[in-house]
Amino acid sequence: MSPELAADSPPAPELAPELTPDTAPELAADSAPVPVMNPGCKIMTFRPTMEEFKDFAKYIAYMETQGAHRAGLAKVIPPKGWKPRKSYDVIEEMTIPAPIMQVVTGQSGLFTQYNIQKKSMTVGEYRQLANSRKYCTPRHKDFDDLERKYWKNLTFVSPIYGADVSGSIYDSEISEWNIGHLNTLLDMVEQECGIVIEGVNTPYLYFGMWKTTFAWHTEDMDLYSINYLHFGEPKSWYAIPPEHGKRLERLAQGFFPGSSQGCDAFLRHKMTLISPSILKKYSIPFDRITQEEGEFMVTFPYGYHAGFNHGFNCAESTNFATLRWIDYGKMATQCTCRKDMVKISMDVFVRCLQPERYVQWKQGKDGMVLDHQRPTTLTSPELEHWRANRSHCPLSLPSHFLRSPLSINQSINQSNVLIKPFLHQLTSQSAVQKTSLKPQTASNAGVEAWWLGKTP
C-alpha cells in the first residue's frame, strides 16, 4: 500500500502506486537513478499487505524508493491480524537485571541525562512501580498536552527505565519482521567473525514508564534500527533528517562545549536532550511522530532521533544493515573517551562487497561522498557472490566468543540471569573491539548525593 506522511504533516505530494510482487522494483546495483522523493523529509507511514510484509529487506528497499530514509525515521503498521506473540502472560516473571534511574539536569530546553543503575526487579514489579502514584502518567487532554508536560517536568521525579534487557519475546515460529532473525547484511558480523553484539545484532527489550527517555543519538556505527512496541502506552519520537545531522552536531557542540571538548562524538553517550523549541529557534529541521502498540519504527543511517515513553510499555529493538549502509559505516564517528563503545571493523564489508574500492579505502583514498538522498539497492553481484561462497571471505574467532541471544523462555528458565558478554583479546581480524551498550552513567554516589539535596 502507498505510504502516507505523519498526521501533523502537510498534504503529501503524489506518492508511488501500491507495491505488488509485479510492480516492486528490482533495485539492482546498476539500476537507473531514482527521482528524488519526499523532498520535505517528512516522517512517512507505511501499511504493507501481508504479501509485502513477508520480505523484510525488499520492503525496506521499497520504503527508500519512496523517500522514507530522508526523514531518518519511518513508521510501519503491520497487516491486520499479524501478531508476534500469542500471549504476554509469562512476561511478568521476567527479570530486568539492571534498571536505570534517569536523572536530568538543565533548563530552558537544554538538558543532560545521567543514568544510575538500580537493583534488579521483575517486569511485574516494574509495572506496579510504573503505575504507582509517583511514576504514573499525568492527566492530559491529548498527545500535544502530554508533550508539553514532558518538557516542563523533565527534571522532576526521575523515572526508572528497564532498558537493554537481552532477549526477544517473539514466538519462535514468527518469520515476518522477526527482530531476532532479520537476515540482513549485518549478519556478516556474526557469520564471518563469529561475534555477537547484544542489542546490535541481537534483540534488546525495553520496559518503559512515563517520562523514560532516549536522548539524541544515531545508532552505533550509524546503522539502521527497528523498534516494535509489543504492548502498553505509546512512545513519542523526534527525528532529524540525515542530511541535516551535522547541523544538530554543531548546535550541540555550541551548547555543550565541555562535553564536546572531552569527546569528538559525545552525542553517542546518549546523555544530551535538546527540546523542539530550541530546534525551531535555531532552524534545525525535524519531525515528530507517536508510535502506538503494535507498530514498528525504523531509523535510517545517520538519522538522529530522540523520544520518550507515555507510560508503562514494552518495546523490542535491534540494528540491521543494507548495502547503502556500508559507506555510512566507513564514515561513522567514534566516541574517543570510552574504551567500551561499539566499533565494527568495516574491512569485511568493503573487501567482500566493494572489492574495487578496497585497496584505495585501506590507503585512506576512497574519496567517497555520502548521498543521503539515494535509496539502497536490494542486492549486488558481490553480495550474491558472498552468499553463494561465504568461505571466500573467512574470518575466524575462538569458539568461546560465540554466543546466541536468549529468548524470553530461556531467560526465565535460567533463573533470569542475563549475562552480557565481555569481548576481549580479540584478534586483529575481529569485527568488534569492545562493546558496552549501556548509555554512559554518572558516578552513583556523586549524583545520588546531589539528587538527595535537590528540591523541585
> Active-site residues: which are they?
199, 206, 217, 219, 305, 317
Phi and psi angles of residue 70, each rounded to the nearest 5 degrees, phi first: -70, -25
Neighbours of 336 (CB within 10 A): 12
Sequence letter at residue 320: F
Locate cell 558516578: which residue? 443
Distance between alpha carbon 50 and the CA centroid of its chain, in Å? 24
Beta strand ranges found along 135-212 (DSSP E) = 160-166, 204-208
How far lies 328's CA from each of 61, 267, 303, 344, 423, in Å?
Answer: 16, 17, 11, 12, 24
Q: 1: closest CA among 79, 103, 100, 88? A: 79
What is the rounded distance in angstroms from the CA atom of residue 185 to the CA atom of residue 308?
Answer: 29
Q: What is the longest distance spanned by two Cα atoms in the chain?
A: 65
Cβ within 8 Å of residue 309, ≥6 positions away:
208, 209, 210, 211, 212, 213, 233, 234, 235, 236
Residue-wise over 225-235: b if at least 16 C-beta within 10 A, else e?
bbbbbbebbbb
What is the rounded distance in angstroms from the CA atom of residue 161 to the CA atom of residue 320?
Answer: 24
What is the rounded distance in angstroms from the CA atom of residue 88 to the CA atom of residue 157?
Answer: 29
Neighbours of 433 (CB within 10 A): 16
Locate cell 530461556: which residue? 410
Strands ordered across the beta sheet of 100-107: 4-5, 44-46, 73-76, 296-299, 224-232, 313-320, 204-208, 160-166, 100-107, 110-117, 272-274
What is the rounded distance in angstroms from the CA atom of residue 269 to the CA atom of residue 283?
Answer: 24
CA Rg value for the chain: 21
What is the rounded distance in angstroms from the CA atom of residue 169 to the CA atom of residue 406?
Answer: 10
Strands ordered across the beta sheet of 304-309: 213-217, 304-309, 235-240, 287-291
